[in-house]
């Protein structure tokens, strides 16, 4: 798989946490950070108690927001408790920001590509696997799924392949090109 920098967005699910974006810049001298998120709508996360950052692989630490300010549809200005300077904030640049699954469901737009995490992908009537990762590219979305007992495979979602989405049952129905799966096994 290509490196994350190649893709416009790199979103995935790990246990009970879902990556919503990353910290891309510091703001001012007081330690504020800019979060570039993929939730599909502007939000200031009303009622959110904590964001999570991955300290070590699979180890998520809570960071408590002191203030949150929406800066358009996909950016948020955050001041975290305990980070009071630009120098301290700089240590967090390029880190993925995670939400617990229950919080993710409250804040993500149902029409955003990131909302496909956890959906089961079907090719026609054949179930292929659960969406583990969403990769946003300029002209399509790619979903990484674990196909049966095989390695993960990438499935394109675009106007040509999308048949329908069942939000209630968390199912994604596609019409995939013949041989797409076999070439990845």
What per-residue confidence (pLDDT) applies to 159?
86
Indicate the number of domains in the chain.
2
* 113 located within any domain: no
Res. 15 pLDDT band, cuts 50 70 90: low
Same domain, 143 and 98: no
What per-residue confidence (pLDDT) applies to 14?
57
DSSP classification of residue 88: H
Same domain, 103 and 148: no
Looking at every residue in the chain, the average pLDDT score rounds to 85
Range of the domain at 161: 118-184
* 172 located within any domain: yes
Least confident interval from 4-8, 51-55, 157-161: 4-8
Three-state DSSP state, 106: helix
Q: Is the pTM value of this prediction over 0.85? A: no
Task: Among 54, 79, 108, identify where a domain stops.
Answer: 108
Mean pLDDT of 6-33: 75
Share above pLDDT 70 across residues of the chain, in percent, rounded to a whole number: 91
- Assess whether pLDDT exceeds 60 at residue 3: no
Task: Among 56, 76, 108, identify where a domain stops.
Answer: 108
Mean pLDDT of 145-151: 79
Same domain, 33 and 97: yes
Task: Among 108, 128, 143, identify where a domain stops.
Answer: 108
């Amino acid at each position: 798989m290509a490196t994350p920098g190649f893709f416009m967005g790199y979103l995935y699910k790990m246990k009970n946490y879902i990556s919503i974006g990353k910290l891309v810049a510091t703001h001012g001298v007081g330690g504020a950070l800019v979060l570039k998120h993929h939730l599909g709508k502007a939000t200031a996360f009303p009622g959110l108690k904590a964001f999570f950052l991955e300290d070590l692989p699979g180890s998520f630490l809570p960071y408590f927001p002191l203030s949150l300010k929406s800066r358009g549809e996909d950016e948020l200005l955050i001041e975290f408790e305990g980070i009071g300077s630009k120098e301290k904030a700089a240590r967090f640049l390029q880190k993925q920001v995670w939400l617990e699954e229950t919080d993710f469901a409250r804040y993500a737009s149902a029409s955003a590509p990131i909302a496909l995490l956890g959906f089961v992908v079907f090719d026609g009537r054949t179930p292929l696997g659960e969406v583990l990762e969403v990769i946003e590219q300029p002209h399509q979305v790619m979903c990484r799924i674990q196909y049966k007992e095989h390695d993960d495979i990438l499935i394109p979602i675009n106007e040509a392949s999308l048949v329908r989405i069942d939000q209630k049952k968390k199912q994604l129905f596609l019409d995939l090109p013949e041989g797409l799966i076999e070439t990845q096994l």
